[in-house]
Structure 1
Amino acid sequence: MHSLATAVAVLAACVTSATARNDSLATSDPFYPTPWMTGQGEWSDAYAKATDFVRQLTLLEKVNLTTGVGWEGEQCVGQVGSIPRLGFRSLCMQDSPVGIRDSDYSSVFSSGQSVAATFDRQLFYARGYAMGAEHKAKGVTVQLGPVAGPMGRAPEGGRNWEGFSPDPYLTGIAIAETIKGTQDAGIIACAKHFIGNEQEHFRQVGEANGFGYDITEALSSNIDDVTMHELYLWPFADAVRAGVGSIMCSYNQVNNSYACQNSKMLNNLLKDELGFQGFVMSDWQAQHAGAPSALAGLDMAMPGDTLFNTGDSFWGTNLTLAVLNGTVPEWKIDDMALRIMSAYFKVGLTLDEPPINFDSWTSDTYGPLHAGVGLDYQQVNWHVDVRGDHGDLIREIGARSTVLLKNTNNALPLSKPKFIGVFGGDAGSNILGPNGCSDRGCDNGTLAMAWGSGSANFPYLITPDSALQSQAIADHSRYESVLDNYADSQIEALASAPEITAIVFVNADSGEGYISVDGNEGDRNNLTLWHSGDALIKNISSMCNNTIVVIHSTGPTLVSEWYDSPNVTAILWAGIPGQESGNSITDVLYGKVNPAARTPFTWGKTRESYGTDILYEPNNGKGAPQSDFTEGVFIDYRGFDKSNSTPVYEFGYGLSYTTFNYSNLVIKSANAGNYTASVGKTAFAPVLGNFSTNLADYLFPNGSFRYISEYIYPYLNTTDAKAASGDPSYGQNASEFLPPHATDGFPQPLLAAGGGPGGNPALWDVLYTVNATITNTGPLDGEEVPQLYISLGGPNDPKVLLRGFERLSIDAGESATFTADVLRRDISNWDTVAQNWFISSYPKIAYVGPSSRKFVLSGTLQ
């Protein structure tokens, strides 16, 4: 049982970084006490069950519930302690947002960014449900996803593919529907990473030091109040409104306070203003303090040890002591346990859950239960096949998320072409196997999944080369492929063959910051295609007048050198499609699926046109690198509109094999009531009892079970509290180092902008309903994605904001009605003085069209 000095943990900073810093740097205001959950709304039944359960727990059991057992402590990437006395097995936390990391016989789904391109609420939900069902069948209780941070502030961001879109409205709808699907499947969703986690560089000190950067504190994302509310917090409000059970706080600092102990972010914005009822979990090693992190809003420490495999913990023994000596009040540990168990019961989990049937640390059937120390060798993998028919869904999402960016003279769809030539390593297999690179940390073969903890193991991978060849054989077409980007003579011979239709596959990869691929430390170094992809396209299109380009990428790439070549007849963005990659793209190329997807980000002409970028070099000496979000809310298409920069392909753009007409715009007022600020006070913080102050009750129970080194326990090893803490200054007055009101448990005033899940309930009132008629005027049945944009009219507002969309299936010659509800929040701005939402007096104009720069219909919101 190792424990760190409580004082050291405290001094790690509960409000701002303890490191000496320039006073001109951004700061984060303290907000205390941490709000206690109330069980409001749809949480009431789960809250009642949790209250009954937590009331039975001892302090040791409550601490066990909140503290991870340590890296490689048990089978999942994260587990808390169990409560055998009540038949409660450990919670199992497992990546990832595209599939079950480190397992077998499970699926690899399309990325969040890819599914966002479908603009299809039903597919958002279906994907979430299928992933949730697979996780549950493996014994997982908390799926570490979906992702709204990063949103994609900078297109080079390494983990943008895990999220959905740099547009907060699209991301908000996607994350909400994914959460509903995941939790309807019977496990807890964990929305991440909260908040401002927009790049991989400098997110962790140790990681940055390993790459040769001499810094002592993690990067600070410096975000103003308006930008926080109108952009980065927006999708998390949707997540809370959807009933998400858990939210993961991020590695970075926000305004120079670590996100996992930032009382402004966790206490004020998340738990108070947004009314979050679930629990806040730290990212792995993102906790930097003991008692202060609890008081600032953290509820669960992952993986439990301060650094992997050390056995040291900010919580565990230290949290037990902090409660015993009053540094952490009893009501706070009760609230932490209540939040965890309320989320548990809310999704239908019971005390009779089946055991975990896989192991994150070995693919073998037998291995040590405690991999970190190699103890308790037993069966740890049962190789349970949980895939069901999800391959069909993955194939559908892969096809329906493919964006047709260019299609000259109806080059597509293909119809039994005489001769198909496929080019590029991205069409083929990884010669090491689809799982040959740990956590997919390489870019060999076709890019169907990017790298990092957001990855999973392929059960199989259908490559474009294999799928297209099968189609060509069925059509009696001639088929050849060259899968080496640098085989110049072979490429020239094939590309210059008569009557050939050339399909060129190229990619651009990225991932999490602990892996560097070809010098890209998570974040992309540039926006060009990898493996000389641009040169490959130009070379082939110079010889073949019917060159089709397919891009697999984790975001936009620069296409200006070749996209407008008359010999490049079609361009498709196929994103990160998952295990059915080849089948999905074949379905689109041959017209089995008529494309309707829309690009979920903007394709700029230059890197500079985005106005944002990654901070690649430290800029604050050895202190925390400072990333100032000076662009405010103007990222992606908002920034392009502000600078009057013309993109290559605008946000929301995408073509079809048929055509559509927009007409008959109708805007109806819903006659909603007025917006009123929330008033009143909370109840007292509930205290559930079952609390002993006798330190002898907290000693390690020698003889009851074996002590395992590096495992995190809640027990003391002596009744001398100072000795148990290992802290020379143990016993000093908590008021000397805790912020004012940090331990207050009496009624607190309600925030004006709060009052319900996702914020003030009136924000979710429907103010208007917008309808339009969409007619398929072409020869083929197809789908269309009409989009609603609104101008808020103010001088500091973006030109337009996405505020509605719908994917409609319309047969040739038929019409359908597009419908979008405009909520109060959709036309509101954040008032930094009043700390509340308001609707400005500027005129509000609604626009409907097929993209963010093509508006066919418009009308005023009266």
Structure 2
Amino acid sequence: MRNRTILSAVMAMFIAAGCGGGHDDNGGTPAASNAHAWMNTSLPPQQRTALLLAAMTPQQKIAQLTGTPGVVPEIPSCYGARHITGIPDLQIPTLRVTNGPVGVGQNDCVSPGLPGLPLSSLSSPASAKATALPSGMAVAASFDTAVASQFGDVIGRESRNLALHVLEGPGMNLARNPTLGRNFEYFGEDPILSGTMGVAEIKAIQSHGVIAMAKHLVANEQETNRMTINENIDDKTLHELYMVPFEMAVKDGGVASVMCSYNSVNGASMCENKHILTDVLRGQWGFTGYVQSDFFAAHSTANTMLAGLDNEMPGIDVAPLTAWWTPAKINAALSAGQITQSNIDTALGRRYTQMFRLGIFDRPVTQTAIDQAGDGAIARAIGEQSAVLLKNTNDLLPFDPKAIRSVALIGQAAYANKAVSGCCGGSSDVIPLYTVTPLEGVQNVLKQAGSPASANLTIVADDNSNLAAAVDAAKQADVVIVLAGTIAEEGADRPSIELSNNQDAIIAAVAAANPRTAVVMKDNASALMPWIDQAPAVLETWFPGQEDGNIMANLVFGMANPSGKLPVTFPKKSGDWPANTPAQYPGVTVNGQPTVTYSEGLQIGYRWYDAQNVKPLFAFGHGLSYTSFKMSNLQVSPQSSDGTKPVTVSVDVENSGKVAGAEVPQVYLSLPAGLGQPPKRLVGFQKVMLAPGEKKTVQIVIDPNAASHPLGTWDTASQQWKTAGGQYQVMVGNASDNLSLNSALSVGK
């Protein structure tokens, strides 16, 4: 073992000197004595990486830097444009990449006969099927790390089933603006909620030997002009909000990869933003994984590599988009002295180390069957725990399936006639293994309950031309379920958060026709609800995925108890949100470039509503239940701290109702005056399940040294986090606007 250690050190020095190791500059055959030594699984990943790099020719290395579309050699039935073809002589497997913030999405397998290849392979309904899970926003709404772990577990396991190695997710950008087309992929408006859920997902994915990729670093908070936009963000805001989830992913999640985004930040294109990719990501956070570009996000050869990019994807030209790490361009940069062989070895070495770490070199690239029923049941459970009961006047819900004779389902086709599960306009599109429609879900519940009730579906035309028929159906039914919402996808922001096609008129008319009407929403993020006073019950299910119908019906009929909380604030009216001027969104032209300025600073989401004294429709953290809860006996220990040791917040939570359910104590902190901070910030939460009459003491630890920096503020001058001395207020409740328990925390410096 000592000899191997010495060999590793020699190889590392050889590589660092730019010698390339074991070959001549013309790509000659490496020394045979080192062949396949890197396949010794008893060696650490770094040593195996050094041995492999020493055995490779320069041209082999260059070929491994970028994607290579075509048939997957190990799986001839699969054509893809999301892989890096392996080198069998060196036992380097084909590295296969898939999208997947909400399940195994656009992956590396379509028929080699598909028209329009290679571009068509990037987004096709012919892609390999997988479980279409509820959206990332739904997972965040669970406020439950166990749910995020289940979510990641399904994604990681199915990636292994499909012989995929890299999962481009989780998405960890923040919901700065409610119209962002990709809000559903992310975890909401709060950085600690986003980071906490992302870390749980990352750990679960990587437990299956699959590389998770936190994306999109950083400030990818809009789709409008996303490939050309420059985001001006002050350093304090960048660190305290938008980079916190990524820092948590690195430090707490051990994420193996990070994706650099399309946009520029403070004038530097993100995939060549050396300050963020090297100074912050690697220097401040200690990241040891590799950085992959978003597809076509690189804009140079040498500058991207020197800034910290390690892998360009997808490696094809699609005019006007081009590949920058082609052999010709890399060789030209080497010849010009812009990069060195050592730079190439560094980029490859970072990725190979993670591949060795997660066992990718040590298993065959073979596909196995997905557990369709088992994973579908998990998807259903996730959806049931993520739905948010926004309103329930006079306990209208749940409907009793045995006490009714007829159910009317009403809505436009996009929401009422199919499962909202995606396909085929963006990275989160999953080709579902099966789907359950709303009508099928209701029929399943009625049958399970032994109910004689009938269920009838009325599809309202997109122009509402048959609204009268829907109203008539509502009048004749015992109970009504209106299905409505907002659809969104990658590549475009929503024009507004109003319901499209005048769905508001449907809800208002149907609710007026039958007082026993429940509205079930399927949303990207928040939505405007001008009819809220007319609708007695409203249930938000986000994008439920392939189990849509079962999730909705189980919740509406009480087979499951809603326990989700809002990860985003619902505004009362359009414009009641932070980025509401053209300079903030969608941007203005500055020196010929679309430019957005995050002038709201730290005031996004509930922080803005608090600071501006604007009352939302539904606050961040809000969510009702079919039972009731009481919180009491708040304890903060210690109440005096030096700002370095953990503080434990404990609270008693009691189920004071008649059915089992879950509550989420949320801990917020108000920092000392004079720091320029919003009124409060979320610092911890924990979901607790309780039987009727049961009481539990919940303990939430607030660690000042955590990667989430719960007590910290960013000092730009010193480029460090600091904890100010003074009086902090600890507030606990079940929503950001319902914090009934308060205590003090004194920090002495």
Task: Evaluate the alpha carbon distance shift between residue 331 and residue 399 of structure 1 in structure 2; reply closer, same or farther with a 3 A threshold.
Answer: same
SS of the residue 2:696 aligns to: strand
**1: CA distance between counterparts of 2:386 and 2:446?**
23
**1: CA distance between counterparts of 2:216 and 2:415?**
33
Report the CA distance between 1:317 and its aligned residue. 2.9
Question: More deviation in 835-844 or 601-610?
Answer: 835-844
**1: CA distance between counterparts of 2:217 and 2:667?**
28
**1: CA distance between counterparts of 2:295 and 2:357?**
25
How many residue pairs match? The answer is: 663
Task: Evaluate the alpha carbon distance shift between residue 455 and residue 395 of structure 1 in structure 2; reply closer, same or farther with a 3 A threshold.
Answer: same
- What residue in structure 2 maps to residue 87 of structure 1? 91
1:836 to 720, 726, 731: 720
AA matched with 1:423: I
Report the CA distance between 1:633 and its aligned residue. 1.6
- What residue in structure 2 maps to residue 558 of structure 1? 528
SS of the residue 1:642 aligns to: helix
- What residue in structure 2 maps to residue 714 of structure 1? none
Q: Does 1:190 align with 2:213?
A: yes
Q: Deviations over 1:761-796 (max 9, x none)?
A: xxxxx5211111101111111111111111113341
Question: More deviation in 548-557 or 522-531?
Answer: 522-531
**2: CA distance between counterparts of 1:315 and 1:285?**
13
Task: Evaluate the alpha carbon distance shift between residue 72 and residue 353 of structure 1 in structure 2; reply closer, same or farther with a 3 A threshold.
Answer: closer
1:495 to 451, 471, 474: 474
- Across the aligned residues of Structure 1 and Structure 2, the Cα RMSD in angstroms comes to 2.3
Q: Deviations over 1:38-72 (max 9, x none)?
A: xxxxxx94323323332322222222222222589
**1: CA distance between counterparts of 2:347 and 2:510?**
60
Task: Evaluate the alpha carbon distance shift between residue 803 and residue 77 of structure 1 in structure 2; reply closer, same or farther with a 3 A threshold.
Answer: farther
**1: CA distance between counterparts of 2:733 and 2:363?**
51
- What residue in structure 2 maps to residue 219 of structure 1? 229
SS of the residue 1:843 aligns to: strand
- What residue in structure 2 maps to residue 809 of structure 1? 689
Report the CA distance between 1:278 and its aligned residue. 0.5
Aligned 1:789-800 pairs, distance under 5 A = 789-795=668-674, 796-800=676-680
Q: Is the 8 A contact 2:416 2:483 kept in 1?
A: no
1:475 to 418, 427, 451: 451
**1: CA distance between counterparts of 2:281 and 2:371?**
34
Name the structure, 1 or 2, with higher relative contact order (CA <8 Å, separation 6+).
Answer: 1
**1: CA distance between counterparts of 2:345 and 2:627?**
59
AA matched with 2:555: V
**1: CA distance between counterparts of 2:184 and 2:575?**
21
AA matched with 2:646: L
**1: CA distance between counterparts of 2:147 and 2:639?**
28
AA matched with 1:778: G
Q: Is the 8 A contact 2:631 2:652 kept in 1?
A: yes
Q: Does 1:230 align with 2:240?
A: yes
Question: More deviation in 263-272 or 654-663?
Answer: 263-272
1:288 to 299, 324, 343: 299
AA matched with 2:427: S
Q: Is the 8 A contact 2:586 2:596 kept in 1?
A: no
**1: CA distance between counterparts of 2:393 and 2:586?**
43
1:422 to 396, 405, 409: 409
Q: Deviations over 1:665-689 (max 9, x none)?
A: 11123999886xxxxxxxxxxxxxx
Report the CA distance between 1:256 and its aligned residue. 1.7
* Sequence identity percentage: 31
**2: CA distance between counterparts of 1:56 and 1:471?**
61
Report the CA distance between 1:407 and its aligned residue. 0.7
Q: Is the 8 A contact 2:132 2:546 kept in 1?
A: yes
AA matched with 1:219: I
Q: Does 1:404 align with 2:389?
A: yes
TM-score of the aligned structures, taking structure 2 as reference length:
0.85
Report the CA distance between 1:254 and its aligned residue. 0.9
**1: CA distance between counterparts of 2:444 and 2:201?**
34
Q: Is the 8 A contact 2:565 2:620 kept in 1?
A: yes
Q: Is the 8 A contact 2:444 2:550 kept in 1?
A: no
SS of the residue 1:286 aligns to: coil
- What residue in structure 1 maps to residue 433 of structure 2? 459
Aligned 1:427-442 pairs, distance under 5 A = none
Q: Is the 8 A contact 1:179 1:239 kept in 2?
A: yes
Q: Does 1:575 align with 2:542?
A: yes
**2: CA distance between counterparts of 1:428 and 1:155?**
20
Task: Evaluate the alpha carbon distance shift between residue 285 and residue 272 of structure 1 in structure 2; reply closer, same or farther with a 3 A threshold.
Answer: same
Unaligned runs of 5+ in 2: 1-42, 73-77, 107-126
AA matched with 2:186: G
**2: CA distance between counterparts of 1:275 and 1:535?**
53
2:514 to 544, 554, 562: 544
**1: CA distance between counterparts of 2:258 and 2:699?**
31
Task: Evaluate the alpha carbon distance shift between residue 613 and residue 189 of structure 1 in structure 2; reply closer, same or farther with a 3 A threshold.
Answer: farther
Q: Does 1:97 align with 2:64?
A: no
Question: More deviation in 321-330 or 773-782?
Answer: 321-330
- What residue in structure 2 maps to residue 448 of structure 1? 421
Q: Does 1:624 align with 2:628?
A: no
- What residue in structure 1 maps to residue 333 of structure 2? 322
Report the CA distance between 1:602 and its aligned residue. 0.4
Q: Deviations over 1:475-518 (max 9, x none)?
A: 11132221124222311211222x621111101111111xxxxx
Q: Deviations over 1:377-404 (max 9, x none)?
A: xxxxxx9545361001000011111100
**2: CA distance between counterparts of 1:282 and 1:94?**
14
Q: Does 1:661 align with 2:634?
A: no
Q: Does 1:602 align with 2:569?
A: yes
- What residue in structure 1 maps to residue 742 of structure 2? 858
SS of the residue 1:55 aligns to: helix
1:511 to 481, 484, 489: 489
Question: More deviation in 794-803 or 176-185?
Answer: 794-803
TM-score of the aligned structures, taking structure 1 as reference length:
0.74
SS of the residue 2:593 aligns to: coil
Report the CA distance between 1:230 and its aligned residue. 0.4
SS of the residue 1:826 aligns to: coil
Report the CA distance between 1:456 and its aligned residue. 1.1
Report the CA distance between 1:305 and its aligned residue. 3.2
Task: Evaluate the alpha carbon distance shift between residue 614 and residue 320 of structure 1 in structure 2; reply closer, same or farther with a 3 A threshold.
Answer: farther
- What residue in structure 2 maps to residue 735 of structure 1? none
